[in-house]
Structures are given as C-alpha cells and as structure tokens.
Amino acid sequence: MSRKLIFSVLVFVIPCLPFFLPSLSLAGEPIRIGVYLPMTGPVAAFGQMEWAGIQAAHQMRPTVLGRQVELVLVDEKSDRIEAANAVSRLLKKEKVQAIIGSATSSNTMAGAALSEKAKIPMVSPTATLPLVTQNKKYVFRVCFIDSFQGEAAARFAYQSLRARRVVVIVDRAQDYCVGLASYFKRAFTHLGGKVVSMVYCQTGDQDFSAQLTSILASQPDLLYLPNYYAEDALIARQARELNLNVPILSADGAQAPELIKIGGKAVEGLYLLAHFAPEGAATPLAKEFMKFFKKTRREETSGFHALGADAYFVLLDAIKRAGRTDGDAIRTALASTSEFGGVSGTIKIGPDGNAVKSAVILQVRGGQFKYLTIVRPW
C-alpha cells in the first residue's frame, strides 16, 4: 500500500473515531436491569422468593443481543418511601435500562411514577392492583389483575363452596387488599350472595379478637381474607380458637410458606387464588425452569419464584425483539407481547400494560399448597 493511500485512509478514519468508538464500547457493555423488591420488612418473603426466581432465570439466560445482563438489586424494605428511593437510585446512580419490581401494588406504584417520568420500562412480577398501570405507558406486569381475581374468587365462593353469607376481613393499610375486597364484594353480591360484614385490620396487627368476636353473631358460612400471609395466618388461628370453623378463602398474597408456618393446623383446608401451581405448568419454559430451579436451589418452584422469573424472561424477550435498549423500543416490544410461554403460563400483554392469563385455585392440605383447578379469563 502506498504512503499516499495510507494517508488517505487515516484522513478518513481518524475524524470518524469519535462516532465509531462509542458504539464499539456499547456493544461490549452489559445491559443493566434494576430490581427493587422487599428483601426485609413485613412482606420480605415475597421479595426473597421473587429475587430467587429472577436470579435463576438470569442464570438460565444471562445474555441478550450478544451482551451480558447485569442485575442491580435494591431493597425497598416493604416501605413505600423506600420503594421510591430505590427506583430513584436505580435511575440516577445505577443508570439501568429497565426495572423489575416491586412485589406489592402500593410499593410498585410508589416507584412507577419515577420510572414513567424517566421513560424507563418497569415490569412488576406480582403487583395486581389495576391502578398500578393506569395512565402509564412504561409500566407493565406479568400477573393477572385484581378485578379478575376478585370476580374469580366470588364465583368460586358462590358456585363451588356454596357460600351465601360472607364476612370480609381486609387490611386497610394496603391498596391491594382494599381493592380486592371491593371487587369480590361487587361480584359476590351480583351473583346473589351477601357480604354480611366487612371489618378492617392493619398490616402488623397481632390481635384480631375484637374483629372476630364482632362477627360471630352474623353467622357467616365463609371468611374471605384478601390480605398478605402473616395477617391471614393469625386471623385463621384466632378464628379457630373462637370456634369460628367456617371455610376460609384468601388471595394470591397468602401464597407463601410463612402462611403455613404461622397458621399451622388453623390454615388446613384454606383455599386461595394463585398465579401458579407446578401441576398446572405446561409450557416448555416452565418445565425447563422448574427442573433448573430444583437442581440449583434444592426446592420446588412457588408462585412468586415463577412470577419473578417471568418478569425477567418477558423483559429479556422484549429487549431481544426491540433489537436495542432504549426505553421507547423496549416499551413498544413489551406492549406487543403475545402468547409468550412463561413459567406461570401463557402471557399476553397489551398497550395497557396488563397481562391476560389464567389463575389457579389452591388448598392447604397436609401442610402444603395443593392444586385444585384452573380459572381462565372470561
């Protein structure tokens, strides 16, 4: 090659290096996904299970677009203010390209406003309150929503359990619980049943004797407890101590091993709606994940493990289909998710950010959650 030709090439290349180098550098950089979950606090069991599912999914699929995926976890401590702080840190300090979180509806909403403003997509594994995605373009979920769950619970109570007189005990401190109770009451009443009493408790309460004593005279044939596992377990124990031995129906927030550990024999026979049961898992990814999870974690896959994994897998699928990592591209891909064969079932997500999918009915028997049936969207 002549000196003149070499000089000509250098004259062309050197001015262009500032344009080439960033893209070359970007191609080798990891894709950073932020995760904010309650790793401590009253609902830490949810966060710990979801994080285990996310980690296992990451081990199975550690790359996308030829780049490594890096997870950045921040503990939101089961607190709304801490949840907002966690998302702020992920956006401003950690510079993440997408976010997974949180486990509960209230704390997801606390962080969602920040994610929406920054135009960084967020996928919640288990925030079921409809308000979570309302008027949001960048907030999504892989779980069903409470309007569906409340109606499904009402149908199961009325048609399968033959309940006609129900008492609802609801945690007024949680948006999820209040909303779910409202959906259940409306649907149950429409079917011809009667909510004879709706009484309230608060996250962290230990003594429910006043509420339970007040409802004894109403002679319910079912207790509906749309709360988290700790409160439901204690309510069940104290109800049995007062000889209130009617069936108990709960919701997805009760599906944690702690429900059985705290409730003991009092929660035997308890029914609940849930997102996942190994017996009903049929997709290839579900079978692959459950096998991998048991091998690496030495435990069976729970609903929160499955949904944590699905949040990761759905997000990764969206990034792959987007072909790049800017927020708008990922958001568009998430909103067009269709017939994705996830761990918890087939998932379809629309522009409203909500997943359309089935639920399962479980019952506590022999100290374990046992699969009864599946409830499909109608």
Query: DSSP alpha helices (H): ranges in 70-205?
Result: 80-92, 105-118, 146-155, 175-191
CA gap 306, 294 in Å, rounded:
12
Contacts of 206 (CB under 8 A, 6+ apart): 234
> Where do the structural domains in the chain lie, given as residue ranges?
28-144+280-357, 147-274
| The domains spanning 28-144+280-357 and 147-274 adopt the same CATH topology | yes
pLDDT in tens, the chain (378 residues): 444 444 343 334 444 444 334 333 355 799 999 999 999 999 999 999 999 999 999 999 999 999 999 999 999 999 999 999 999 999 999 999 999 999 999 999 999 999 999 999 999 999 999 999 999 999 999 999 999 999 999 999 999 999 999 999 999 999 999 999 999 999 999 999 999 999 999 999 999 999 999 999 999 999 999 999 999 999 999 999 999 999 999 999 999 999 999 999 999 999 999 999 998 888 999 999 999 999 999 999 999 999 999 999 999 999 999 999 999 999 999 999 999 999 999 999 988 999 998 899 999 999 999 999 988 876
Please, is 199 exposed, middle or buried when counting C-beta atoms within 10 Å of its C-beta (0-12, 13-18, 19+)?
middle
pLDDT on residue 3:
45
Which position has the token pair 């639920």? Answer: 359
Give exposure, 201-226, as e/b (b: 16+ Cβ within 10 Å): bebeeeebeebbeebeeeebbbbbbb
Could you give the angle at which helices 175-191 and 146-155 cross, rounded to 10 degrees?
Answer: 40
Query: Could you give the C-alpha distances from 104 to 43, 47, 163, 274, in angstroms and in order?
Result: 8, 9, 29, 15
Q: What are the CA-CA distances from residue 252 to residues 53, 104, 290, 361 (Å)? A: 17, 11, 20, 10
Provide the 3-class DSSP secondary structure of residue 99.
Answer: strand
Nearest to 103 by CA among 168, 32, 172, 54: 54
**Number of other residues whose CB lies within 10 A of the CB of residue 140:** 29
Q: Beta partners for 371?
A: 362
How much is the pLDDT for 8?
Answer: 41
Q: For 193, which DSSP code?
A: -
Give the list of residues 6+ apart from residue 164 with CB closer than 8 angstroms, or none.
Answer: 158, 192, 193, 194, 221
Place of tokens 């994080």: 51
- Rounded to the nearest angstrom, the gap between the alpha carbon of residue 76 and the centroid of all alpha carbons in its chain is 15
What class has domain 147-274?
Answer: alpha beta
* CATH hierarchy code of domain 28-144+280-357: 3.40.50.2300
